[in-house]
């Protein structure tokens, strides 16, 4: 570590910066971002385009450097050319040549394997060099965009090479999902990460939390007085959370076959959605308060026992079928999928949140690939009215009110109400009152990674998962994963591609419930 | 998505209730044409324009990207006009793909004459969407009309650099801000500069330099003196300086302010070489010997800092220019937000010229 020529005053003032008032974008401290796995798919498709778009909007730190680390040997110039190609191909807007040039000027590359000490020595030299040139300490953010098996190696190497802490600047580590593949792995990874870094330095990515739509759920619940009085077991009958995809496994067979639907989506994203539905209002919208409330929800969900699992969890795999007017192959016929794979491409759970607010209300979660269409939604069904004086003949009749929060593709809120059919008789049928976010805002939502990278560089952990949160999620899913892998699991049901999913999923529902059409 | 498609209604010698009925009918027809067509419901915008310049205004508004008002009411003024003519257009962004929606945007152009001005509110009121915020833009002056229409509007769009006399521009902005939220394009042009100046002093060990600022120099397009004044007004109001009068010859203006610790030398310098309206650069000196200089450059701002030991460093802060169309679009978007720092800045700037 080199001494910074300008030095830092011994007693820096912590007073608020009066110049930030009124600014939509708060300043981000000068930062060097180091991406491990810099030539991988995530870096090329998401991280580099996100960095370009932040640069385009003038939202990067005043001083920003990027260092790519990967196994392949290449010169800085070659890596810059790769960055440019990835940005041109995957950016949400056509890059401005001058902005792109300015961004790439500050890009360096370090080749080597992640367990090689010389990689970290070289990294240290570059980081120190940037600081010396800048004449001020620069924050450091290490982004682990590698295979999860490298996470402990990289973290421990950062520790042993003295790169995990900086006397005058913030050091943060951003860890991509999956954070472990079992509860034991997650605990072990947390133990190893937290033996090097403090929890406040760790930013575990769940990119769903960076989506504007998920953040809107907080505003929907806690900025509107009309919903909260109804938001409990006295008025809500059930909650359904669906994340359906119409596409198959595509090019992700390698990862997906080892993960499956439960670990790919339910263990992280869908449990996060459940938390947003079920959490108590936080005292303040700070990282710790929000995450405290989410952890309480996860801890209120009983850990499934082997005897309960067949009654509360269903898995299935898609078979050949029809999607988008075309014949499509089954999962086992997809490229890269082992012929005898028993990986589930569909998973559905019935969970209970055993606390004062939610006791007795089933939370149904389902996700799957190659379903009828792509949709992510949360449907909250209210209890029926206690007495019905209206005729049910000749109409669809009165149905319980249902509030549907759609996260994609058309973000919005829909409320199902009963309304009289025009005519001489008092006949009721359900109608929808709809609100679509796209009709009500001028601004375009930023990509999730743009928001998350900025927040991590600013040190705001609100949209990242905490260690106890991750372990609480695994506590719920781990027994199900183990059961499905065991001998008692029974044959793996199938469902035709392009369908609503397996018939077995209906077995999770109470008699009075039904799955919403996908 | 396919290209934009329009549905149009027009009439000569019409009345507001007839125009409003036509709007409702066109909306019903467009929805029947495709149930994925849904009306945007974000913001009304009333543009009061001289009729001979309606084409130019339409061109400017067509360049605002996605920041269109959901209903645009153009009151095209032609003093000698006796009859009320109107044209309603409901444009769809195109044929939506499966599972997508296409937003409808409504444009109502009403041609009015001098004798309609007495009843202007009764013409405009039925033609804006109730309960949506309304932004007023009167790019060709007509202050009396602005005062009348403000009764319908929550925000007013101005560009203070359009006024030939800086003092009058700032006075107008101050007066308007007493009645509505003012979105000033001159202020928005300074946003990247304000963000970068704030960022340059954001590190905890640099915040202590803010009370030690001894000099601020702003270089600006010759027509954008107001933008430079607003930047200095912002710094002075945020840092609680007491400002004195500015004096100069129109090319260079100088003055002094007083912070808690010392005097601050202020300088505004016209930069004739700058091709676009707005700011060319800003330099801030502090008592410790530090100096920050930001200059407009290709692909972002060119930054230069001199530390207390006299060592100078230069680098580029990337960022794309928004262009004039982008600034107007940003102005429309800002009508839905509230920046509490503008009014103190504009009042401080005005006080330096009073």
Which B residues, 79 through 108, put their C-beta within 8 Å of a C-beta on chain A?
Answer: 99-101, 103
pLDDT of residue A252: 81
Digit-coded pLDDT (tens) for B31-72: 888 888 888 888 999 999 999 999 999 999 988 877 889 999
Tell me the domain boundaries of chain B.
5-153, 189-353
d(CA A353, CA A297): 7
Does domain B189-353 match CATH 3.30.360?
yes
Which spans in A203-251 are helix H?
Answer: 212-222
The minimal CB distance from B195 to the residues A9, A58, A135 is found for A58
To the nearest whole Å, the CA of B228 is away from the closest chain A CA by: 16
Give the angle A509-A512-A518 at the CA atoms, nearest 5°. 60
pLDDT of residue A402: 94
Q: How confident is the model over B9-29, as a mean pLDDT?
A: 95
Give the angle A15-A21-A24 at the CA atoms, nearest 5°. 130
pTM, full prediction: 0.89
Q: How confident is the model at residue B3 (pLDDT cuts 50, 70, 90)?
A: low
Query: Which residue in chain A is spatially nearest to B68 when comparing CA positions?
Result: A442
B54-62 and B323-334 are packed helices; what angle lies between their axes, rounded to 10 degrees? 80
Yes or no, beta carbons of B66 and A12 under 8 Å apart? no
Phi, psi of A271 (to 5 degrees): -70, -30
pLDDT of residue A297: 98
pLDDT of residue A106: 92
Digit-coded pLDDT (tens) for B167-203: 999 999 999 999 999 999 999 999 999 999 999 999 8
pLDDT of residue A5: 36
Digit-coded pLDDT (tens) for B209-253: 999 999 999 999 999 999 999 999 999 999 999 999 999 987 999
Query: Which residue in chain A is spatially nearest to B294 when comparing CA positions?
Result: A62
With CA atoms as reference, report the closest residue to A349 among A232, A266, A461, A264.
A266
pLDDT tens series, chain A, 518 aa? 333 333 344 344 456 899 999 999 899 999 999 999 999 999 999 999 999 999 999 999 999 999 999 999 999 999 999 999 999 999 999 999 999 999 999 999 999 999 999 999 999 999 999 999 999 999 999 999 998 899 999 999 999 999 999 999 999 999 998 888 899 999 999 999 999 999 999 999 988 888 877 888 888 899 999 999 999 999 999 999 999 999 998 878 888 998 899 999 999 999 999 999 999 999 998 999 999 999 999 999 999 999 999 999 999 999 999 987 889 999 999 999 999 999 999 999 999 999 999 999 999 999 999 999 999 999 999 998 888 777 667 666 778 899 999 988 878 889 988 888 888 888 888 888 888 877 777 766 778 899 999 999 999 999 999 999 999 999 999 999 999 999 888 899 999 999 999 999 999 999 889 999 99
Q: Per-residue b/e over B177-192, b at no fewer than 16 CB within 10 Å?
A: beebbbbbbbbbbbbb
pLDDT of residue A392: 67
Partners of B339 on chain A (C-beta within 8 Å) are 22
Peptide bond into B25 cis (omega under 30): no
In three-state secondary structure terms, A132 is helix
Which spans in A223-375 are helix H?
Answer: 253-261, 271-278, 287-300, 309-312
- Which of B7-16, B58-67, B109-118 bottoms out in mean pLDDT, i.e. has the lowest? B58-67
Tell me, letter by letter, the H, E, C secondary structure of chain B. CCCCEEEEEEECCCCHHHHHHHHHHHHHHHHHHCCCEEECCCCEEEEEEEHHHHHHHHHHHHCCCCCCCCEEEEEEECCCCCCCEEEEEEEECCCCCCCCCEEEEEEEEEEECHHHHHHHHHHHHHHCCCCCCEEEECCCCCHHHHHHHHHHCCEEEECHHHCCCHHHHHHHHHHHHCCCEEEEHHHHHCHHHHHHHHHHCCCHHHHCCHHHEEEEEEEECCCCHHHHHHHHHHHHHHCCCEECCCEECCCEEEEEEECCCCEEEEEEEECCCCCCCCEEEEEEEECCCCEEEEEEECCEEEEEEECCCCCEEEEEEECCCCHHHHHHHHHHHHCCCCCCCHHHHHHHHHHHHC
Total number of residues shown for chain B:
354
Question: Going from the N-terminus, what domains does chain A have, and what CATH number goes with each?
Answer: 24-176 (3.40.50.720), 210-443+467-508 (3.30.360.10)
The minimal CB distance from A442 to the residues B99, B303, B332 is found for B332
d(CA B38, CA B101): 7
Q: Per-residue b/e over A227-254, b at no fewer than 16 CB within 10 Å?
A: eeeebeeeebbbbbbbbbbbebbeeebe
With CA atoms as reference, report the closest residue to A271 among A186, A156, A388, A331.
A186
Partners of A102 on chain B (C-beta within 8 Å) are 299-300, 316, 318
Yes or no, beta carbons of B313 and A15 under 8 Å apart? no
């Amino acid at each position: 570590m080199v001494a910074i020529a300008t030095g830092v005053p011994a007693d820096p003032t912590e007073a608020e910066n009066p110049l930030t008032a009124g600014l939509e974008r708060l300043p981000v401290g000068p930062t060097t971002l180091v991406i491990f796995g810099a030539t991988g798919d995530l870096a090329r498709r998401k991280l580099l385009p996100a960095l370009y778009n932040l640069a385009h909007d003038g939202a990067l730190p005043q001083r920003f450097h990027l260092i790519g680390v990967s196994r392949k040997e290449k010169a800085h110039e070659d890596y810059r050319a790769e960055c440019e190609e990835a940005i041109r191909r995957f950016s949400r807007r056509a890059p401005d040549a001058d902005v792109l040039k300015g961004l790439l000027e500050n890009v360096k590359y370090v080749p080597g394997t992640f367990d090689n000490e010389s990689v970290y020595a070289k990294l240290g030299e570059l980081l120190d060099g940037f600081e010396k040139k800048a004449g001020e300490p620069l924050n450091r953010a290490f982004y682990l965009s590698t295979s999860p098996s490298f996470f402990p190696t990289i973290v421990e190497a950062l520790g042993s090479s003295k790169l995990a802490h900086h006397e005058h600047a913030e050091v943060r580590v951003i860890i991509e999902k999956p954070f472990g593949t079992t509860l034991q792995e997650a605990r072990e990874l947390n133990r190893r990460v937290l033996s090097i870094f403090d929890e406040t330095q760790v930013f575990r990515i769940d990119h769903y939390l960076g989506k504007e739509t998920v953040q809107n759920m907080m505003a929907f619940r806690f900025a509107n007085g009309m919903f909260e009085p109804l938001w409990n077991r006295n008025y809500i009958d059930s909650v359904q959370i669906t994340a359906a995809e119409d596409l198959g496994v595509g090019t992700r067979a390698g990862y997906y076959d080892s993960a499956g639907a439960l670990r790919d989506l339910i263990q992280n994203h869908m449990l996060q959605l459940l938390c947003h539905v079920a959490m108590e209002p936080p005292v303040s919208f700070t990282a710790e308060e929000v995450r405290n409330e989410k952890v309480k929800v996860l801890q209120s969900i009983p850990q499934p026992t082997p005897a309960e699992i067949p009654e509360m969890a269903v898995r299935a795999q898609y078979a050949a079928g029809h999607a988008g007017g075309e014949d499509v192959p089954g999962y086992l016929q997809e490229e890269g999928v082992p012929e005898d794979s028993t990986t589930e491409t569909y998973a559905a759970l019935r969970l209970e949140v055993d606390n004062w607010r939610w006791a007795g209300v089933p939370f149904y979660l389902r996700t799957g690939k190659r379903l009828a269409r792509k949709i992510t939604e949360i449907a909250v069904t209210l209890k029926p009215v206690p007495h019905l004086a209206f005729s049910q003949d000749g109409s669809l009749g009165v149905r319980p009110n249902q509030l549907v929060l759609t996260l994609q593709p058309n973000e919005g809120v829909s409320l199902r109400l009963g309304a009289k059919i025009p005519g001489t008789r008092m006949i009721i049928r359900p109608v929808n009152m709809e609100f679509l976010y796209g009709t009500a805002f001028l601004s375009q939502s930023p990509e999730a990674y743009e928001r998350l990278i900025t927040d991590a560089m600013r040190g705001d952990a609100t949209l990242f998962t905490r260690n106890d949160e991750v372990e609480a999620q695994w506590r719920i899913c781990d027994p199900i994963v183990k059961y499905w892998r065991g001998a008692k699991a029974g044959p793996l049901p199938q469902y035709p591609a392009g369908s609503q999913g397996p018939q077995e999923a209906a077995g999770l529902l109470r008699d009075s419930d039904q799955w919403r059409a996908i | 998505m396919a290209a934009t498609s329009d549905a149009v209604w027009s009439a000569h010698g019409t009345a507001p209730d007839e125009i409003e009925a036509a709007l409702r009918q066109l909306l019903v027809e467009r929805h029947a044409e495709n149930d994925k067509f849904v009306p945007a419901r974000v913001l009304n915008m009333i543009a009061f324009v001289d009729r001979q310049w309606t084409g130019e205004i339409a061109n400017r508004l067509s360049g605002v990207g996605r920041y269109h008002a959901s209903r645009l009411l153009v009151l095209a003024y032609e003093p000698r006009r006796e009859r009320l003519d109107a044209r309603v257009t409901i444009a769809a962004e195109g044929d939506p793909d499966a599972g997508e929606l296409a937003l409808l945007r409504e444009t109502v152009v009403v041609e009015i004459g001098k004798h309609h001005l007495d009843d202007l509110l009764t013409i405009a009121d039925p033609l804006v969407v109730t309960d949506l915020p309304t932004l007023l833009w009167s790019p060709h002056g007509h202050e009396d009309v602005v005062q009348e229409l403000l009764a319908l509007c929550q925000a007013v769009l101005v560009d203070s650099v359009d006024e030939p006399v800086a003092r009058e521009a700032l006075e107008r902005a101050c007066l308007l801000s007493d009645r509505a939220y003012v979105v000033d394009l001159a202020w928005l042009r300074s946003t990247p500069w304000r963000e970068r100046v704030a960022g340059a002093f954001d590190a905890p060990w640099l915040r202590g330099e803010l009370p030690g600022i001894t000099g601020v120099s702003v270089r600006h397009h010759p027509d954008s003196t107001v933008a430079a004044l607003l930047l200095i007004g912002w710094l002075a109001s945020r840092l609680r300086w007491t400002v004195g009068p500015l004096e100069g010859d129109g090319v260079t203006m100088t003055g002094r302010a007083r912070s808690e610790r010392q005097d601050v030398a202020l300088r505004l310098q016209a930069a004739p070489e700058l091709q676009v309206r707005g700011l060319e650069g800003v330099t801030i000196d502090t008592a410790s010997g530090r100096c920050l200089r930001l200059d407009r450059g290709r692909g972002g701002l060119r930054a230069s800092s001199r530390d207390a030991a006299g060592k100078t460093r230069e680098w580029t802060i990337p960022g794309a220019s928004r262009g004039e169309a982008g600034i107007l679009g940003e102005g429309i978007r800002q009508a839905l937000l509230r920046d509490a720092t503008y009014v103190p800045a504009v009042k401080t700037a005005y006080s330096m010229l009073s």
